[in-house]
Amino acid sequence: MDKVDFDLAWYRLERAKNDLRSAELLYENSDFLGANNRAYYSIFNAIKAVLALKRIDFKKHKDVVGYFNKEYVKTEIFPRVIGKKIAFAKTVREDSDYDEKYIPKSETTYEQMQTAKELIKLVEIYLNEQSEN
């Protein structure tokens, strides 16, 4: 892999970390809708960091998540349980952003941030392993 792939991957992972920090600040201020959004984008950018290594990108979120699940979760490069957590985070984000009647719970938002943290850690390990090869 050339350096450009890794530069983009690390940049996207840094964006994921920034989104997580934003989610945590929003959560601390009881803005659970906003925190759900930022936690999801943290997850989304972490996924895109992985895809950057293959220069794969999609315009639609469902395609990004679907490709990641097919190529990385189903093949157990990443644990299967993370695929389920990502799917739940996507649903929570959509509810938070588009369902005017959705009232988020603190616990659900906290869970989204934990998923983002877990995925960031897994992606960081993966990128380090790939850079060694």
When pLDDT is averaged across residues 74-98 and rounded to a whole number, the result is: 95
Half-sphere exposure of 53 (CA within 13 A, CB side): 19
When pLDDT is averaged across residues 5-34 and rounded to a whole number, the result is: 97
pLDDT tens, residue by residue, 112-131: 999 999 999 999 999 999 98
Element (H, E) at 131: helix 106-132
Is residue 121 within 8 Å of 24, Cβ to Cβ?
no
pTM of the model: 0.94
Q: For residue 5, name the pLDDT band (cuts at 50, 70, 90).
A: confident
Count Cβ atoms below 10 Å from residue 59 Cβ, excluding itself.
6
Q: In whole angstroms, what is the distance from residue 101 CA to residue 48 CA?
A: 30
Q: For residue 1, name the pLDDT band (cuts at 50, 70, 90).
A: very low
The full set of domains in the chain, from first to last, is 3-132 (1.20.120.330)
Q: What is the dihedral of CA 118, 62, 92, 23, to 10 degrees?
A: 50
Across 15-33, b (16+ Cβ under 10 Å) vs e yields: bbbebbebbbebbeeebbb
pLDDT tops 90 at residue 133: no
